[in-house]
Amino acid sequence: MVPPAGILRSRAVFQWTPRLFFSRSGVVLNLDANLRDAKAAMSKFEGFEGIGKRSKTGKAQYGVVKYILNCYFSKNNTHFTYSAMIEDVNFMKNNPHLSYNEKYQYYMKLPQKLKLHLSTGNLGFRKAARGEYEAAFQTTVKLFDVLKERNLLDKKIDIIMKDFGKGRKAFITAMNGKEGTAIRPLVNRISDATTLKFGGVKAPRPRRL
């Protein structure tokens, strides 16, 4: 079968200009134009002017908005997780294409960066001793000391508590005592995240130590 004359001409063009090629339909396509369109699309959605080039608006600069202290007081242990809620200062400049709702969602759900995790096992308590009052109290005091040493008390703190183990009372006692003198003025909010069960499946068997 003899190909149409249009395809033969496109093949001749293809030999001299590598940026052009013909499709199955015989239409000559320009790779340079396609590449420019791809770069323009990338610059809109990823904040880049082109592949391998940084946008003029500047790179992301993160600043700490506040700290979040998650306290988990189970029957067998006490866990503290201290994280920083961070914000990109140049977010509005780097993402002008986003809608109002997308920008609103970003600031409503700012990312968090883990700074510290501490539990009673880190202080040497083992087995059943991890669920006792004294273990939780000493862990709380250790937490306050580490926060002072690492200079993590420069912003407000949100405290989120969960469950009702013995460590909950120990934490509140340490917070209200002399051990929490440097922490109390920074507390912005205290909330409870304990889950409530209504019906549901059968609970797992009790843990035996």
Each residue's pLDDT tens digit, 147-159: 999 999 999 999 9
Alpha-carbon gap, residue 29 to 18, rounded angstroms: 11
Spell out the domain ranges in the chain: 62-192
Tell me which fold the domain 62-192 belongs to: Nucleotidyltransferase; domain 5 (3.30.420)
Residue 140 · residue 82 · CB < 8 Å: no
Confidence of residue 40 (pLDDT cuts 50, 70, 90): low
Q: What is the pLDDT of residue 190?
A: 97
Each residue's pLDDT tens digit, 160-185: 999 999 999 999 999 999 999 999 99
Each residue's pLDDT tens digit, 116-143: 999 999 999 999 999 999 999 999 999 9
Each residue's pLDDT tens digit, 44-99: 444 333 333 344 456 888 999 999 999 999 999 999 999 999 999 999 999 999 99
Alpha-carbon gap, residue 112 to 79, rounded angstroms: 18
**Considering just the CA atoms, what is the radius of gyration of the chain in Å?**
30
- The average pLDDT across 192-206 equals 91
Best CA proximity match to 135, nearest among 90, 92, 165, 179: 165
> Residues near 68 by Cβ (< 8 Å), separated by ≥ 6?
82, 83, 84, 85, 112, 157, 158, 160
Q: What angle do CA 175, 147, 110 make, to 5 degrees?
A: 95
Question: Is residue 196 predicted with pLDDT exceeding 80?
Answer: yes
Q: What percent of the chain lies above the pLDDT cut of 70?
A: 72
Question: Which of the two residues, 157 and 37, has the higher pLDDT score?
Answer: 157
Residue 163 · residue 77 · CB < 8 Å: no
Phi, psi of 74 (to 5 degrees): -85, 175
Q: What is the pLDDT of residue 48?
A: 36
